[in-house]
């Protein structure tokens, strides 16, 4: 009898230890899983927050396209005829497209859509020219002057872009997230937008968040997950541009629209035709002086 009691006590004791061990193991697993869920939730939250910055302008673009139900209809205010362009700038001299190099030779011009150093891997422009609406030229000069005082200069990657090039880009990308639709056109088609960066006056590269036309989330001017130096340089450029009437695009730190862009129509005048018009006007003035 005494032996049976001892066996029973020992059995109860082992059973308790076994159950306690199992509980502990299961609690530990639960704790581990909970931790993983929290980590995943935090990660998801982080990604969602980061993506929000880049998604904002994309949503705007998508809404507009869906409301109008087509991508390919032409914008209402498009001037593609040379005579119509000449008439327009005669009435609206502030809308004239000028060669930036003639206005300011200190700004560095690196037209990225001429040549293959762009996301299309081919040349979209027939010549390495940078044209821009005359209204912007003065502001860019003032910005470059201020940059020079700090030891930097402005680099212009793109400015006026003929409408037909925007259509060509669309044919290649066919995604309103990454390209302006033919229906809407681009602010570049008005000569009222610029894609810019900076470099040091001795030509040394300055660290920026991304290269031109980078489609990652790092391209957002609100993105924080980049080096301190890149953030400082980006914010310095944005501050200088904003001071002189430009607004940065929320998905591209290098793209700036100039105030009043919506008053200027979209143009589809080739660089060759713009050069021809400039030459004609120069000859006219020369004749008058003689």
Nearer to Zn ion, 61 or 195 (CB): 195
Q: Extract long-range pairs of 54-60: CB within 8 Å, 24+ residues apart.
A: 54/217, 54/219, 54/220, 54/223, 54/250, 54/251, 56/250, 56/251, 57/249, 57/250, 57/251, 58/176, 58/177, 58/251
Taking the complex as a whole, how short is the minimal distance between the CB of residue 139 and Zn ion, in angstroms?
16
Segment (H or E) for 168: helix 163-173
Interface region with Zn ion, contact rule CB under 5 A, candidates 44-52, 112-120, 194-202, 257-265:
194-202
Nearer to Zn ion, 98 or 248 (CB): 248
Nearer to Zn ion, 252 or 268 (CB): 252
Taking the complex as a whole, how short is the minimal distance between the CB of residue 31 and Zn ion, in angstroms?
50
Q: Could you tell me which of 228, 158, 150, 153 has the C-alpha nearest to residue 198?
A: 153
Residue 190 interacting with Zn ion (CB under 5 A): no
Taking the complex as a whole, how short is the minimal distance between the CB of residue 121 and Zn ion, in angstroms?
18
How many residues bind to Zn ion according to rule CB under 5 A? 2
Taking the complex as a whole, how short is the minimal distance between the CB of residue 153 and Zn ion, in angstroms?
19
Nearer to Zn ion, 233 or 251 (CB): 251
Task: Render 41-78 in DSSP notation, one character per residue.
Answer: HHHHHHHHHHHHHHHHHHHHHHHHHHHH--SSSPPSSE
Binding Zn ion by CB under 5 A: which of 129, 195, 213, 268? 195
Cβ–Cβ under 8 Å, residues 166 and 188: yes
Radius of gyration of the chain (CA): 30
Cβ–Cβ under 8 Å, residues 71 and 266: no
Q: Could you tell me which of 55, 159, 165 has the C-alpha nearest to residue 120?
A: 165
Interface region with Zn ion, contact rule CB under 5 A, candidates 3-11, 79-87, 188-196, 237-245:
188-196
Nearer to Zn ion, 153 or 187 (CB): 187
Footprint of Zn ion on 237-276 (CB under 5 A): 255
In eight-state DSSP terms, residue 205 is B
Interface region with Zn ion, contact rule CB under 5 A, candidates 71-79, 187-195, 223-231, 271-279:
187-195
Nearer to Zn ion, 23 or 175 (CB): 175
Nearer to Zn ion, 257 or 268 (CB): 257
Alpha carbons 28 and 35: distance in angstroms, whole number: 11
Alpha carbons 26 and 52: distance in angstroms, whole number: 38
HSE-up of 75 (CA within 13 Å, CB side)? 24
Taking the complex as a whole, how short is the minimal distance between the CB of residue 193 and Zn ion, in angstroms?
5
* x/- letters, 88..117, toward Zn ion (CB under 5 A): ------------------------------
Alpha carbons 287 and 170: distance in angstroms, whole number: 43
Nearer to Zn ion, 234 or 255 (CB): 255
- The residue whose Cβ lies closest to Zn ion is 255
Positions touching Zn ion (CB under 5 A) are 195, 255
């Amino acid at each position: 009898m005494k032996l049976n009691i001892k066996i029973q006590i020992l059995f109860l004791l082992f059973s308790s230890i076994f159950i306690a061990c199992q509980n502990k193991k299961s609690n530990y697993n639960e704790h581990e899983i909970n931790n993983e869920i929290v980590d995943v939730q935090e990660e998801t939250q982080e990604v969602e927050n980061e993506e929000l910055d880049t998604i904002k302008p994309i949503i705007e673009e998508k809404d507009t396209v869906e409301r109008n139900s087509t991508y390919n209809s032409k914008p209402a205010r498009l001037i593609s005829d040379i005579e119509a362009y000449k008439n327009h700038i005669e009435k609206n001299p502030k809308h004239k497209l000028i060669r930036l190099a003639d206005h300011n030779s200190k700004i560095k011009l690196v037209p990225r859509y001429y040549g293959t150093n762009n996301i299309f891997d081919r040349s979209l422009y027939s010549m390495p020219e940078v044209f821009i609406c005359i209204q912007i030229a003065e502001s860019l000069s003032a910005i470059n002057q201020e940059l020079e005082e700090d030891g930097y200069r402005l680099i212009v990657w793109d400015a006026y872009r003929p409408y037909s090039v925007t259509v060509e880009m669309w044919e290649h990308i066919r995604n309103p997230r990454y390209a302006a639709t033919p229906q809407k056109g681009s602010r570049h088609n008005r000569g009222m937008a610029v894609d810019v960066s900076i470099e040091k006056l001795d030509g040394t590269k300055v660290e920026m968040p991304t290269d031109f036309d980078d489609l990652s989330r790092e391209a957002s001017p609100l993105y924080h997950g980049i080096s301190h130096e890149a953030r400082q340089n980006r914010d310095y450029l944005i501050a200088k541009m904003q001071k002189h009437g430009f607004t940065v695009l929320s998905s591209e730190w290098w793209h700036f629209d100039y105030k009043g862009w919506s008053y200027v129509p979209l143009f589809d005048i080739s660089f060759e035709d713009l050069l021809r018009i400039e030459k004609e006007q120069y000859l006219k003035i020369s004749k008058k002086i003689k």
